[in-house]
């Protein structure tokens, strides 16, 4: 689901833009460590392939059909950092040329589909893809499934956090539809990977490796956060902001933003949207801080 501009509240889109930028930066740095610039054509052409793949319809029955989204597939071929970079490029072009997703909302869409979607799609493959043939098949399917489901749920949460009305029946129907398209993505991803491997087994990476335990923890954390996010968002439509206000951070953040300008433009900076933006950013920083802190503790325990 590509969120257009005009749907997300300022704290949400601004915070996600701020979050996505360093995440993409990290993916670019990791990609460059593995691929030199001579591989840019490969990344670009496979991006064009994912784009074009959407023109090939897969029959699902009852007169409908679906198509490949491709985040997990790219991750199996290129590894997650490069897949994130390619998906980011695709999302940017979709937003610019096809009016599919907004520009300010690009941070949200990149977070959902290029970062989290790709990571969540890659993890099952990384964890179980190195096992037996059946385990590998299940992992490939699960990657496609999880990638689309988690991306869509995140988008739903972001819309709810922005105060877009989401009555329970509508949310229920949406989640149902997401599950169906996630199942389809899993099936298409598996079928395409198998067909690709009959042409050349070297196209798809060998899974598994050294990061299995780290990957398990990341996966568990992601699922946990997604679950908390969904519950949280359904309970408090303006939740992120509430969190910041309750913890008193919002007031401090507003002061911080306002002080350097307060002599001549205090009125402008006092305006509601800036307060909201500051509150949203602060709330998000809080959540991120907690995650990083949690990760550190876990890492220390493991190395101890």
Partner 1 sequence: MHHAVIERWSQGHSFLHRRDARAKAAALLVLLTAIATAPGLPVAAGSVYFAILIFGFAAARVPVRGALARAAAVLPFSLAFAAIAAASGDPARAAILPGKSYLSALAVLLVVATTPLPKLLRGFEGIGVPRFLLMVGQFVYRYLFVIAGQAASMRLAASCRGGFGKSGSAHKTRFSAAAGALAVLFARSYGAAENIHRSMLSRGFEGHFHLLRNPRFGPADWTFLLSSVAVAVAVRGI
- CA dist 275 → 77, 102, 240 (Å): 44, 23, 13
- How buried is 186 (Cβ within 10 angstroms: 0-12 exposed, 13-18 middle, 19+ buried)? buried
Residue placing its CB nearer to partner 1 in the complex, 61 or 132 = 61
Give me the least distance between CB of 220 and partner 1, in Å please.
30
> What's the CA gap between 181 and 158, in Å, rounded?
19
Give me the least distance between CB of 7 and partner 1, in Å please.
6
Give me the least distance between CB of 206 and partner 1, in Å please.
17
Contact (Cβ atoms closer than 8 angstroms) between residue 245 and residue 205? no
The token duo for 168 is: 């329970």
- How buried is 22 (Cβ within 10 angstroms: 0-12 exposed, 13-18 middle, 19+ buried)? exposed
Cβ-based neighbours of 178, under 8 Å, separated by 6 or more: 148, 149, 152, 153, 156
Residue placing its CB nearer to partner 1 in the complex, 221 or 234 = 234
Residue placing its CB nearer to partner 1 in the complex, 86 or 219 = 86
Give me the least distance between CB of 304 and partner 1, in Å please.
37
Residue placing its CB nearer to partner 1 in the complex, 85 or 282 = 85
Give me the least distance between CB of 167 and partner 1, in Å please.
5
Residue placing its CB nearer to partner 1 in the complex, 27 or 215 = 27
Residue placing its CB nearer to partner 1 in the complex, 43 or 243 = 43
- CA dist 256 → 155, 160, 251, 253, 259 (Å): 30, 28, 9, 5, 6
Our separate counts of H helices and E strands in the chain read 13, 2
Give me the least distance between CB of 23 and partner 1, in Å please.
12
> What's the CA gap between 249 and 15, in Å, rounded?
15
- How buried is 250 (Cβ within 10 angstroms: 0-12 exposed, 13-18 middle, 19+ buried)? buried
Residue placing its CB nearer to partner 1 in the complex, 47 or 71 = 47
- Cα Rg for the chain, rounded, in angstroms? 20
Residue placing its CB nearer to partner 1 in the complex, 272 or 304 = 272
The token duo for 63 is: 């007169």
Give me the least distance between CB of 87 and partner 1, in Å please.
10
Give me the least distance between CB of 184 and partner 1, in Å please.
10
User: Across-strand partners of 65?
Assistant: 59
CA–CA–CA angle 214, 282, 150 (5° rounding): 45
């Amino acid at each position: 689901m590509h969120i257009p501009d005009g749907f997300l509240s300022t704290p949400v889109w601004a915070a996600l833009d701020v979050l996505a930028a360093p995440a993409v930066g990290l993916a670019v740095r990791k990609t460059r460590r593995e691929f030199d610039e001579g591989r840019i054509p490969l990344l670009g052409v496979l991006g064009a392939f994912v784009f074009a793949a959407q023109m090939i319809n897969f029959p699902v029955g009852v007169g409908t059909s679906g198509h490949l989204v491709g985040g997990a597939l790219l991750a199996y071929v290129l590894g997650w950092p490069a897949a994130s970079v390619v998906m980011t490029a695709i999302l940017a072009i979709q937003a610019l040329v096809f009016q599919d997703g907004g520009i300010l909302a690009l941070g949200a869409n990149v977070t959902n589909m290029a970062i989290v979607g790709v990571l969540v799609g890659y993890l099952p493959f990384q964890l179980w893809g190195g096992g037996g043939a059946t385990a590998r098949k299940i992992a490939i399917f699960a990657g496609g499934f999880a990638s689309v489901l988690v991306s869509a749920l995140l988008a739903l949460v972001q819309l709810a956090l922005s105060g877009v009305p989401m009555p329970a029946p509508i949310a229920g129907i949406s989640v149902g539809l997401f599950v169906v398209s996630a199942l389809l993505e899993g099936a298409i991803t598996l079928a395409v990977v198998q067909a690709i491997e009959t042409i050349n087994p070297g196209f798809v990476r060998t899974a598994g490796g050294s990061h299995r335990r780290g990957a398990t923890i990341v996966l568990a954390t992601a699922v946990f956060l997604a679950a908390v996010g969904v519950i949280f968002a359904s309970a408090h439509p303006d939740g992120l902001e509430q969190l910041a206000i309750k913890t008193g951070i919002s007031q401090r953040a507003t002061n911080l933003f306002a002080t350097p300008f307060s002599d001549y433009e205090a009125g402008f900076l006092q305006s509601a949207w800036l307060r909201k933006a500051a509150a949203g950013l602060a709330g998000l920083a809080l959540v991120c801080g907690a995650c990083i802190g949690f990760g550190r503790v876990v890492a220390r325990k493991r190395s101890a």
